């Protein structure tokens, strides 16, 4: 059952790109949304500012020292409960004083809080795609047992969810394929030789979306679309052959469902994450947003093209990882997160990212990843192996 209104929000990752947009959606709508809890990591100044404005009863930060520092930054007379670390995020996610949990921590760190929210029967607005890549089966099982409902914030999956008519997904048997659109990222039309010289700043400069650094790099390598193929398989229970990817540089068509009778149902909208966030937080009610209308005539044309698989191997690597069994996507994700961190730190080249992911998938013996401990172990081992490989000199293809 869906919670009523006003909904009490727990925003995990409130200081990030998605988190800030969620607060913009909630702001000034007390009849719909109140803020019960906010969680950030190390940007204490922004978290303190958000907390002072929305006055949630609970806050969470990454480290114990952050607790005292944050407390010292709050206005007099406001003394929320402040917790910290992985247990803190999970406890906020399961707290009885919230109805809707926005899972918007970046990376594998989002897994445990997402699982905690699913086990606690929450309405989960899921931005953290990595948690579905790591443990989609466990999360779905937790939802079945607790009655939790997952609504995808990721714009493509949100688009499909809207086109397919809600979480019941009654139409799925009639769907031939799901078609995920990809912007193509900042290097869509750059020659292959250019990719060898890509800098951090170039990779972070996305043409259509303003996002956190990790997903911006993922968009540039097309790993983001690879993770989204896996996310779609987990969310909609489809095999990867039934998830297509098409490059659509304008980012207006957010995805399509292709039916057996030839129909394609698409969702169109401005490239602004508040559309998907608002749809999830208020579901099934729509929350009006003050966004410029999509001007179709000004756009003139919408174009579509095939992804350049050879130049952006991460998309194929992600599909390949699914064929390896449950450990494949876990290793793929861990290798990618580690490689992206190294790239952002200036330690490896852009094209080392797919090389390191390929290394992780081809040199690891297949193992079972059917429970949480096994998943976390593969995640840890892969990170260590990728770091060692990168530090032992530039990896070779
Ligand atoms: P971001 O880097 O802007 O924000 C990340 C948030 O997570 C911050 O609040 C940060 O404090 C917190 N965080 C970082 N490490 C943490 C840790 N170890 N423990 C707890 N909290 C931690 O990232 P973002 O762009 O907002 O993306 C968040 C998630 O949403 C990602 O999984 C991303 O794939 C997904 N997503 C983002 C967008 C987008 O437009 N930004 C679109 C679709 C999906
Ligand atoms: Mg997306």
Indicate if the pLDDT at residue 394 is higher than 80: no
Q: What is the pLDDT of residues 296-339, one digit of tens each?
A: 999 999 999 999 999 999 999 999 999 999 999 999 999 999 99
Q: What is the pLDDT of residues 257-303, one digit of tens each?
A: 999 999 999 999 999 999 999 999 999 999 999 999 999 999 999 99
What distance in angstroms lies between residue 248's CA and the mean position of ligand 2's atoms? Answer: 13
Indicate if the pLDDT at residue 358 is higher than 60: yes
Q: Could you say which DSSP state residue 210 is in?
A: -
Indicate if the pLDDT at residue 5 is higher than 50: yes
**Res 189: pLDDT:** 97
Over range 18-39, report the average pLDDT: 97
Indicate if the pLDDT at residue 21 is higher than 90: yes
Which amino acid residue places its CA nearest to atom 16 of ligand 1?
A: 41
Give 207's pLDDT tier (boundaries 50, 70, 90): confident
Peptide bond into 284 cis (omega under 30): yes
% of residues, the chain, pLDDT over 90: 91
**Res 329: pLDDT:** 97
Name every protein residue with a CB atom under 6 angstroms from any ligand 1 atom.
13, 15-19, 40-41, 43, 62, 89, 104-106, 109-110, 127-130, 154, 209, 211-215, 273
Peptide bond into 90 cis (omega under 30): no
The per-residue pLDDT of the chain, averaged, comes to 95
324-391 fold: Rna Polymerase Sigma Factor; Chain: A (1.10.1740)
- Nearest atom in ligand 1 to the alpha carbon of residue 42 is 11
**Res 169: pLDDT:** 53
Give 176's pLDDT tier (boundaries 50, 70, 90): very high
385 touches 360 (CB < 8 A): yes
Other CB atoms within 10 A of residue 89 CB: 29
Site to probe by mutation for ligand 1, drawn from 25, 215, 229 as the one with most ligand atoms within 8 Å of Cβ, is: 215
CA distances from 256 to 32, 162, 228, 259, 359 (A): 30, 10, 14, 10, 33
**Res 247: pLDDT:** 98
Indicate if the pLDDT at residue 130 is higher than 60: yes
Site to probe by mutation for ligand 1, drawn from 106, 211, 272 as the one with most ligand atoms within 8 Å of Cβ, is: 106
Site to probe by mutation for ligand 1, drawn from 10, 11, 13 as the one with most ligand atoms within 8 Å of Cβ, is: 13
Indicate if the pLDDT at residue 24 is higher than 60: yes
* Smallest-distance ligand from the CA of 156: 2
What distance in angstroms lies between residue 106's CA and the mean position of ligand 1's atoms? Answer: 3
State how far the Cα of 127 lies from the Cα of 106, in Å rounded to an integer: 9
Give 180's pLDDT tier (boundaries 50, 70, 90): very high
Domain 7-153 has CATH 3.40.50.720: yes
What distance in angstroms lies between residue 175's CA and the mean position of ligand 1's atoms? Answer: 31
What are residue 151's phi and psi, to 5 degrees?
-115, 125
* Smallest-distance ligand from the CA of 108: 1
Token pair recorded at residue 50: 């958000």
Indicate if the pLDDT at residue 203 is higher than 60: yes
**Res 397: pLDDT:** 46
Q: Which regions of the chain carry the CATH code 1.10.1740.10? A: 324-391
Q: Which regions of the chain carry the CATH code 3.40.50.720? A: 7-153
376 touches 331 (CB < 8 A): no
Sign, CA torsion 10/111/16/3: negative
Give 172's pLDDT tier (boundaries 50, 70, 90): confident
Q: What is the pLDDT of residues 81-114, one digit of tens each?
A: 999 999 999 999 999 999 999 999 999 999 999 9
Write down the residue that tokens 């193929």 correspond to: 229
Beta carbons within 8 Å of 338's beta carbon, 6+ residues apart = 356, 382, 383, 386, 387, 390
- Nearest atom in ligand 1 to the alpha carbon of residue 215 is 34
* Smallest-distance ligand from the CA of 109: 1
Indicate if the pLDDT at residue 165 is higher than 80: no
% of residues, the chain, pLDDT over 70: 97
Over range 192-218, report the average pLDDT: 95
**Res 173: pLDDT:** 77
């Amino acid at each position: 059952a869906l919670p009523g209104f006003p909904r009490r929000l727990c925003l995990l990752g409130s200081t990030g790109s998605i988190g800030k947009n969620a607060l913009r959606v909630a702001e000034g709508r007390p009849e719909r949304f109140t803020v019960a809890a906010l969680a950030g990591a190390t940007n204490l100044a922004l978290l303190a500012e958000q907390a002072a404005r929305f006055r949630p009863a609970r806050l969470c930060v990454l480290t114990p020292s952050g607790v005292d520092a944050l407390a010292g930054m709050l206005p007099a007379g406001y003394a929320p409960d402040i917790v910290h670390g992985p247990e803190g995020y999970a406890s906020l996610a399961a707290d009885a004083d919230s109805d809707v949990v926005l899972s918007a921590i970046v990376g594998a760190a989002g897994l445990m809080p997402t699982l905690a929210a699913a086990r606690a029967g929450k309405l989960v607005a899921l931005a953290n795609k990595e948690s579905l890549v790591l443990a989609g089966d466990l999360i779905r099982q937790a939802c079945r047992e607790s009655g939790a409902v997952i609504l995808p914030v990721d714009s493509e999956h949100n688009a499909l969810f809207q086109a397919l008519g809600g979480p019941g997904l009654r139409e799925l048997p009639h769907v031939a394929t799901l078609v995920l659109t990809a912007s193509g990222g900042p290097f869509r039309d750059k020659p292959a030789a250019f990719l060898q010289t890509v800098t951090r700043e170039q990779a972070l400069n996305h043409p259509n979306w303003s996002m956190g650094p990790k997903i911006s790099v993922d968009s540039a390598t097309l790993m983001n679309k690879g993770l989204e193929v896996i996310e779609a398989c987990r969310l909609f229970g489809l095999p990867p052959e039934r998830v297509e990817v098409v490059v659509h540089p304008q980012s207006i068509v957010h995805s399509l469902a292709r039916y057996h009778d030839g129909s394609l149902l698409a969702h169109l909208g401005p490239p602004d994450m508040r559309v998907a966030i608002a749809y999830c937080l208020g579901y099934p009610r729509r929350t009006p947003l003050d966004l410029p209308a999509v001007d179709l005539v000004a756009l003139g044309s919408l174009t579509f093209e095939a992804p350049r698989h050879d130049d952006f191997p991460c998309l194929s690597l992600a599909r390949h990882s699914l064929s390896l069994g449950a450990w494949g996507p876990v290793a793929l994700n861990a290798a990618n997160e580690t490689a992206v961190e190294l790239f952002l730190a200036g330690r490896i080249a852009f094209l080392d990212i797919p090389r390191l992911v390929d290394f992780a998938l081809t040199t690891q013996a297949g193992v079972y990843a059917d429970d949480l401990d096994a998943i976390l172990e593969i995640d840890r081992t892969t990170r260590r192996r990728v770091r060692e490989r990168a530090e032992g000199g530039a990896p070779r293809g």
